[in-house]
Amino acid sequence: MLRVGVGALLIASLVGNVLLLLTRHAESMPEERAPTASVEHRCPLVPPSPAPSPVTTVPTESVVLPPARAKVECATLEKRLEETEAKLDHLLPIREKFERAQRSPETEMRARKILDKVIGSLSASEHSYDVECHAVYCKLEILDESISTNDWMSAVQGSLGFSSWSFGRDGTYAQLPGPAQSAQGLLVSAIGNAVLASPELAACKKQNPTKGTMTMLVTLTATRRLIVSTSGPLASEPVGGCARKAMEDLLRGIQIPAEVQSMPDLPIPFPEMSTQ
């Protein structure tokens, strides 16, 4: 019995070893893949591209314009270019126009004549400002720190000798028009400032506290005289007559610049009177 049992154990051990060897052999063999059947496309998915055709160069003949026609077309193109540049220049800020132009001592001299009066009225210093002009564009720098920013900005904008101003961190720039237009602006400024500062007009308001409005129209005649006409509810009232006379006296004291030969009519509203 003992021999039979031992024999059975030996047989079982042998069978187990055989199975283990078979398993390891199966794992070490490469995996067999099923053969792939070749697929034949009867209609190709992408048609074959045709062979590139040879590149041929067509000779071109250069066109030579007659000298007279070429000169005319060149002049036309130059004129269009100048017109385009002028339109673009008009859109540029004053600062950029100033930087692109050449310095002009003549414009600086004209600008100083205006600024000497405007800035000079705010400062006793002989060097209260500095100005540099390129073409008709000027850069202003206030040197007298005692002048408040509001005062000098209001003063220069109130002088119509300059056509436009630009204020910013990069500086203060202005455009000075031609002598005739600039002188006309100075004349209008002089009339307006004189009206605001007139004690006679102020007295008319105070002595004749009549409600209403009136327009005083200042005209420069062909003989270069300044005259005034009035219209509106107050024109026929005592206050209107008082204001008209005060205005006539005021205009006689206004000096007309030699460059001014004409001026658009200047309407000046006479403020509403209030009864005190």
Q: Is the pLDDT of residue 180 over 80?
A: yes
Residues 159 and 202 in one domain: no
What is the rounded average pLDDT of the residues 200-217?
Answer: 90
CB-CB neighbours of 261 under 10 Å: 13
Q: What is the pLDDT of residues 36-80, one digit of tens each?
A: 444 444 444 445 556 666 666 656 566 676 787 777 778 888 888
In a domain, 115, yes or no: yes
Residues 160 and 192 in one domain: no
Amino acid identity for residue 27 in this structure: E
CB-CB neighbours of 11 under 10 Å: 10
For 152, the token pair is 């000098």
pLDDT band for 238, please (50, 70, 90 cuts): very high
Q: Which domain holds residue 264?
A: 180-270
SS3 98: helix
Residue 41's φ and ψ, nearest 5 degrees, are: -90, 115
Look at residue 19 in the predicted model and tell me its pLDDT: 44
Residues 163 and 191 in one domain: no
pLDDT band for 112, please (50, 70, 90 cuts): very high
In a domain, 190, yes or no: yes
What is the rounded average pLDDT of the residues 2-29?
Answer: 44
In a domain, 28, yes or no: no
Report d(CA 157, CA 252) in Å as an integer.
25
In a domain, 10, yes or no: no
Q: Is the pLDDT of residue 25 over 50?
A: no
Residues 148 and 221 in one domain: no
More confident residue, 79 or 194: 194
Residues 186 and 172 in one domain: no
Q: Is the pLDDT of residue 259 over 80?
A: yes
In a domain, 6, yes or no: no
Tell me the pLDDT of the chain averaged across its residues. 81
In a domain, 167, yes or no: yes
Q: What is the pLDDT of residues 123-157, one digit of tens each?
A: 989 899 999 999 999 999 999 999 999 999 999 99
HSE-CB of 152 using CA atoms within 13 angstroms: 20
Look at residue 21 in the predicted model and tell me its pLDDT: 43
Q: Is the pLDDT of residue 213 over 80?
A: yes
Residues 162 and 185 in one domain: no
HSE-CB of 49 using CA atoms within 13 angstroms: 3
Q: Is the pLDDT of residue 93 over 60?
A: yes
What is the rounded average pLDDT of the residues 97-114?
Answer: 96
Rounded CA Rg of the chain: 48
Q: Is the pLDDT of residue 34 over 60?
A: no
In a domain, 23, yes or no: no
Q: Does the reported pTM lie above 0.85?
A: no
Q: Is the pLDDT of residue 6 over 50?
A: no
Residue in 90, 273, 248, 265 with CA at minimum distance from that of residue 187: 265
> How many structural domains compose the chain?
2
- Per the CB < 8 A criterion, the answer to whether 109 and 176 are in contact is no
Of 129, 148, 177, which one is at a domain's C-terminal end? 177
Residues 171 and 130 in one domain: yes
Residues 194 and 265 in one domain: yes
Residues 117 and 199 in one domain: no
Look at residue 20 in the predicted model and tell me its pLDDT: 46
Of 143, 177, 211, which one is at a domain's C-terminal end? 177
Q: Is the pLDDT of residue 224 over 90?
A: yes
In a domain, 184, yes or no: yes
Of 117, 146, 177, which one is at a domain's C-terminal end? 177
Q: Is the pLDDT of residue 32 over 80?
A: no
Residue 179's φ and ψ, nearest 5 degrees, are: -55, -45
Quick one: which H or E segment has residue 266?
Answer: strand 266-270
Residues 204 and 259 in one domain: yes
Residues 137 and 197 in one domain: no
Residues 161 and 202 in one domain: no
